[in-house]
Amino acid sequence: MKLKNFTLDHEQKNPLKKYPTQIKSLFESEDETKNELKHSQEKLANFQELLYAQNEWAVLIVLQGMDTAGKDSLIEHVMKSVNPQGCDVTSFKRPTHLELNHDFLWRVHAHLPERRKIGVFNRSYYEDIIVPLVHPEVLKSSQLPKQILNSKKLLSDRCHDIVNFEKYLARQGIIVIKIFLHLSKNEQKNRLLRRLEIPEKNWKFDPNDMTERSFWSEYQRAYNFCLQKTSHEKAPWYVIPADDKNTARLIASQLIVSRMKELNLAFPKTSAENQKQLKQYEKILKRK
C-alpha cells in the first residue's frame, strides 16, 4: 500500500475534494478483505510487543471524522489483537470547567502515551478548532482574555500551536499518526437510518447527530481549513475513504503497521554478562 495515495495534499486549498469517500474494493471478496485485515492485526500485535519491549518510542493515533464515520468500530477491529496492557484509548468530549480554566492543550498531556505504549485519541485536540469553526459561540465559555478571544487569528494560531506541539512530540519519541475518516453525506444518512430501523442499534442513535448533520457544509469547510493547516512532515494527515467500513479498517491497519515499521523496532539485546547469568538460572531451574 502506498501511503502517498492517502496523504493529504496540504498545498491544495480545499484538499478533501481531491479524495473519494469510497474506492474500489482492494480485494475481490469481503472474506479476502477480512483475512488481510487479520494479517494486519497480527503484524500490529507483533510491532506492539516490540514497542513495549524496546521501551523507547510511543505511538499516538489520532482519529477524526464526522459522526458515524466509524471511529469506534475502527478502533475495535484494528486494535483487536493488541495487548490491552500496551494500548490506551481516550475519547475527548466537551471541555469541563476545569479544562476551560487551562490552555486548550492542557487536557491532552495527561493522556499522551508513555514510552512503549500505543495511545488512541477518539476525536482529539482538533475538536478545539473544528467545533468553534462551526459553532463560534462555544468560545464564549473559553475563559480567554477578550483581546485574544476577539482575534480573527485565534483558530489559525491554534493550528500553528498544534503543529509545534506535534513537532515537539516527535522530538520526544512520540510518533503521531493522524487519520481522517472521509465519509459521504449520503452514507451518513444510511448509517443514521440503520440506527433507527434496527432495534439492536437504537441505543447508538443520538438526536444531536441530526442537529449536527444540518451543519454538514460548515463541517466540511472546517475540516478543509484545519487539515490543510496542520498536515506537516512530522505528522501528516491521512485521508481514508470511510463509506465502506471494511476497506477503511484495512487501510488504517496497514497504514499504522507501515508507520511503525519505520521505527526499526527490536527486542533489547542481552549483554554477554547477562547471558551467562541467565544460563546459570536455566541450570538451577532444570535441577529442580
- Which domains, and CATH codes, for the chain? 3-287 (3.40.50.300)
Q: What is the model's pLDDT at position 29?
A: 82
228-239 pLDDT tens trace: 999 999 999 999
Output the pLDDT for position 271.
82
For 116-155, what is each residue's pLDDT tens digit? 999 999 999 999 999 999 999 999 988 899 999 999 999 9
Select from 263, 241, 260 the least CA-distant residue to 251: 241
- The list of the chain residues with pLDDT below 50 reads none
CA distance 187 to 111: 32
For 23, 71, 193, 205, 218, the CA distances from 197, given in Å and listed in that order, are 27, 21, 6, 10, 28
User: What's the sign of the alpha-carbon dihedral 28, 29, 31, 37?
Assistant: positive
